[in-house]
């Protein structure tokens, strides 16, 4: 059985540890040692560490799971690779273009290790159904993509340092990238209607070489009675259209109405299964640092063009 070390013991670490319990040995490290001890007891862990450096020095650990704030991801990834550990890191992987290049370069130096990014939208069952529907010709060739997810959400703790596009909208950038077979847009435009930083509403406009145009409307400050559920996105094709619930609950096309797999609606279970297979050496991650870089570059360019900062110091 492989052993992994969790760095950070918050809500997302709890979700991951729950899914991985019994399938890997689990160690925990947090800025608050008591939090690490609580997680260790709750999940039947093998032990705790006072520091990240102490965890990396442990020969029993095969990979680390970084559930820490994004501003420390880069250093933690580099240190893990140097210590011979593979990495599963929460999105966003890094917070600057310079950090992105550092990680890309470092990952090349350790081909036997992997850097996987926890972008669960890449693993959503709805994406698989949408892709299959399109590949089978139900709507013809894609012409336009319009993603809409606008609701009210508080930005608590370290999340208050980042804007809606970077922290949440990037999920839908990844979704568009998957639909466009990982093409990079030839044109990127953005609109942040409020002057506050970090932004809480974003509108992203992408144009691809094939002529396909994608719009992503994402907001944390739009009142919605259903709190973001039952909002619809659409894909227009040369032969028809496909409409889907933006969270991936269901879709509708010329082939009728279809409910997606609700047992893993978030895609997290499929993501953890991918991680386990990577740990066993059976494959490389479906969504790794290379895939994440494509999506991050879109977001970084959107901020650059509008003179915005990704990370707002408190």
Which of 100, 119, 138 is at the close of a domain?
A: 119
pLDDT, tens only, 49-65: 999 999 999 999 999 99
pLDDT tens digit string along 114-165? Answer: 999 999 999 999 999 999 999 999 999 999 999 999 999 887 777 778 999 9
Same domain, 91 and 127: no
Residue 42 shares a structural domain with residue 148:
no
DSSP for 219-263 reads ESB---TTTTTT-EEEEEESS-EEEEETTSSEEEETTEEEE--ST
Examine residue 288 and state whether it is found in any structural domain, yes or no: no
Same domain as 135, residue 83: no
Quick one: 229 and 192 in the same domain?
Answer: yes
- Count of residues for the chain? 314
Helices (H), 136-215: 164, 170-179
User: Confidence class of residue 195 from pLDDT cuts 50, 70 and 90?
Assistant: confident
What is the per-residue pLDDT across 136-148, written as a single tens digit (0 to 9) for each? 999 999 999 999 9
Instruction: Kindly state whether residues 140 and 184 are assigned to the same domain.
Output: yes
- Residues 175-187 have pLDDT tens digits of 999 999 999 999 9
Return the CATH number at 51. 3.40.50.720
- Assess whether 166 and 235 both reside in one domain: yes
User: Residue 201 falls within a domain, yes or no?
Assistant: yes
The predicted pLDDT at position 275 comes to 98
**DSSP code, position 185:** P
Is 214 in a helix, a strand, or coil?
A: strand
pLDDT at 67 over 80: yes
φ/ψ (deg, to 5) at 198: -70, 155
Alpha carbon distances (Å) from 184 to 8, 85, 191: 33, 30, 19
Lowest mean pLDDT among 3-12, 27-36, 191-200, 283-292: 191-200
**248 lies in a domain?**
yes
Query: Tell me: the pLDDT tens digits for 19-50?
Result: 999 999 999 999 999 999 999 999 999 999 99
Q: For 76, phi and psi rounded to 5 degrees? A: -65, -40
115 and 162 fall within a common domain: no
pLDDT of residue 274: 98
Listed residues 119, 153, 183: the one ending a domain: 119
Give the CA distances from residue 68 to residues 75, 148, 175, 188, in Å, rounded to whole numbers and listed in that order.
11, 28, 24, 29
* Statement: residue 314 has pLDDT above 60: no
| Average pLDDT value for residue range 188-212 | 94
**Residues 236-245, mean pLDDT to the nearest whole number:** 98
- Is 174 within a domain? yes
Q: Where are the alpha helices (DSSP H) in 89-213?
A: 97-109, 125-135, 164, 170-179
SS3 216: strand
The domain in which residue 47 lies consists of: 3-119
163: left (phi over 0), alpha (psi -120 to 50) or beta: beta
How crowded is residue 135: how many other Cβ atoms within 10 Å of its Cβ? 8
Give the CATH number for residue 154: 3.30.360.10
Which pLDDT belongs to residue 312?
66
Euclidean distance between CA atoms 179 and 133, whole angstroms: 11
Residue 313 has pLDDT above 80, yes or no: no
How far is residue 8's CA from residue 5's CA, in Å, rounded to a whole number? 10
**Global confidence as pTM:** 0.95
On average, the pLDDT of the chain sits at 95
- When divided into structural domains, the chain yields a total of 2
Picking from 117, 200, 123, 195, the residue whose alpha carbon sits closest to that of residue 166 is 200
Both 137 and 256 in one domain: the answer is yes
Residues 182 and 211 in one domain: yes
Is residue 24 located within the same domain as residue 104?
Answer: yes
């Amino acid at each position: 059985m492989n052993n992994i070390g969790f760095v950070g013991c918050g809500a997302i670490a709890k979700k991951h540890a729950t899914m991985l319990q019994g399938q890997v040995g689990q160690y925990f490290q947090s800025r608050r040692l008591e939090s690490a001890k609580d997680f260790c007891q709750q999940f039947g862990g093998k032990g705790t560490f006072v520091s990240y450096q102490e965890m990396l020095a442990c020969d029993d650990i095969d990979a680390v799971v970084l559930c820490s704030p994004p501003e420390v991801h880069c250093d933690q990834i580099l240190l893990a690779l140097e210590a011979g550990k593979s990495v599963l890191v929460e999105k966003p992987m890094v917070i600057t273009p310079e950090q992105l290049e550092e990680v890309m370069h470092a990952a090349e130096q350790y081909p036997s290790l992997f850097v996987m990014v926890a972008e669960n939208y890449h693993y959503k069952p709805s994406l698989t159904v949408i892709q299959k529907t399109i590949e089978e010709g139900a709507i013809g060739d894609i012409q336009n993509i319009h993603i809409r997810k606008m609701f009210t959400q508080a930005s608590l703790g370290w999340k208050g340092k980042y804007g809606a596009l970077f922290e949440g909208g990037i999920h839908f950038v990844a979704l568009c990238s998957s639909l466009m077979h990982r093409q990079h847009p030839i044109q990127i435009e953005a609109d942040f209607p409020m002057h506050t930083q970090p932004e809480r509403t974003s509108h992203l406009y992408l144009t691809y070489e094939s002529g396909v145009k994608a719009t992503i409307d994402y907001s944390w400050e739009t009142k919605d009675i259903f709190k973001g559920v039952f909002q619809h996105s659409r894909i227009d094709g040369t032969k028809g259209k496909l409409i889907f619930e933006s969270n991936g609950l269901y879709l509708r096309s010329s082939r009728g109405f279809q409910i997606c797999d609700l047992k893993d609606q978030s895609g997290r279970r499929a993501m953890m299964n991918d991680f386990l297979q990577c740990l066993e050496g059976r494959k490389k991650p479906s969504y790794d640092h290379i895939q994440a870089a494509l999506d991050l570059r879109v977001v970084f360019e959107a901020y650059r063009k509008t003179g915005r900062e990704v990370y707002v110091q408190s």
